[in-house]
A and B are shown apart, each in its own frame.
Chain A
Amino acid sequence: MKVRFALMFAFWIATFVVPAYAHHSFAAEFDINKPVRLTGKVTRVEWTNPHTYFYIDAVDADGKLTNWAIEGPSPGALSRRSWGKDDLKVGDTVVVEGYRAKNGSNTANGRRVTLPDGRRLYGGSPGDGGPGDDGTDQGNLPATSTNK
């Protein structure tokens, strides 16, 4: 049937269009076998749709200072988790617990962020399969390898 033909044609095209970088689900983008715990100074905040990002200068396992991109959901989703746009200020030292991107880049998801005043913000979704996920709002983050 022609509907099926059109759909299959589109399906075929899609395999060329989409690069080797899956998106939009925890399991597809982040690696559950690569937990990270990063402590560093915030260098930049992008409070944008469809995804928010903030960047920190953190010292990695080799002692090198590298800039990491921390990905989060949309501003709307974060505000529903009680994040405010001004919670992350450039220059603040924060602790980010999350999982590294599957493509190996210096990108992690901001599953839990601890602010200078001790407040903890949660950037995941109940049931998303991320670390410590037990279906509750905050989950229980297991001890992760520490990158000081």
Chain B
Amino acid sequence: MDLHGWLMALAHSPLGHAMQTSRWGFAVVEMVHLLGLAILGGSVLIVDLRLLGVILKGESAITISRDLSRVLLVSLSVMVLSGIALLSEEAGKCYYSPAFRWKMVLLAAAAVFYFTLHRQAILRTRRGTVTFWPRIAAVVSLLLWLGVGVAGRAIGLL
């Protein structure tokens, strides 16, 4: 099934009908999405600023990242689930929205990057020192996640 078919199926699903007919469903789900965004962004910021040597330089980046990865995974799950619910109400509009497409591309890139190169860069760090590749990984990560956020805002503004 192509993207359009999948989105239309989502729109016609029980979730889609519930979201479209509910008077306040969209609003509540959007608020959950927003809170998830704050938590996700915070965990990304702290890990990447540690990699850049801006904060918590005396602490192990591996320790910090291990715990904040759990926070990131939980908040990312909340965002994906709430995001699918939002999508079920606005499937058509999102399909045609360049901002939405950019957001999905950047999200995929950010997530893949996070679980591969970013993770490897963290494992190369040592307490108290800041090396080259972790710095690059941090900057790329921050830019990708920022891009996801900005693209998400643009969906409603274009």
A98 CB → nearest B CB, Å? 16
Residue of B nearest to A13 (CB): B31
B75 at the A interface (CB under 8 A):
yes
Q: A24-B156, A125-B97, A133-B92 are in contact. Are A4 and B74 (CB under 8 A)?
A: yes
Would you call B23 and A25 a contact (CB within 8 A)? no
Contact across chains for A126 and B96 when beta carbons are under 8 A apart: yes
The secondary-structure label for the interface of chain A is loop
Total count of chain A residues near the partner, CB < 8 A: 32
Q: Is the CB of A27 within 8 A of B157?
A: no
Query: Do the beta carbons of B24 and A3 come within 8 Å of each other?
Result: no
How many A-B Cβ pairs are below 8 Å?
Answer: 89
Cβ-closest chain B residue relative to A135: B96
* Most B C-beta atoms less than 10 A away, residue of A10, A14, A26, A77: A14
Number of interface residues of B (CB under 8 A): 31
- Contacts A4-B74, A7-B32 given; indicate if A28 touches B89 (C-beta within 8 A): yes
Would A20 and B23 count as touching, CB distance under 8 A?
A: yes
**Inter-subunit contact B94/A127 (CB<8 Å):** yes
Alpha-carbon distance between A27 and B89 when the two chains are bound, in angstroms = 7
Complex contact B75–A3 (CB within 8 A): yes
| B31 and A22 contacting across the interface, CB-CB below 8 Å | no
Sample of 10 A–B contacts (CB below 8 Å): A7-B35, A18-B28, A22-B24, A24-B26, A28-B27, A125-B93, A127-B94, A127-B95, A127-B96, A135-B95
List residues of chain A with CB under 8 Å of any chain B CB: 1, 3-4, 6-7, 10-11, 14-15, 18-28, 74, 76-77, 80, 102, 125-129, 133, 135
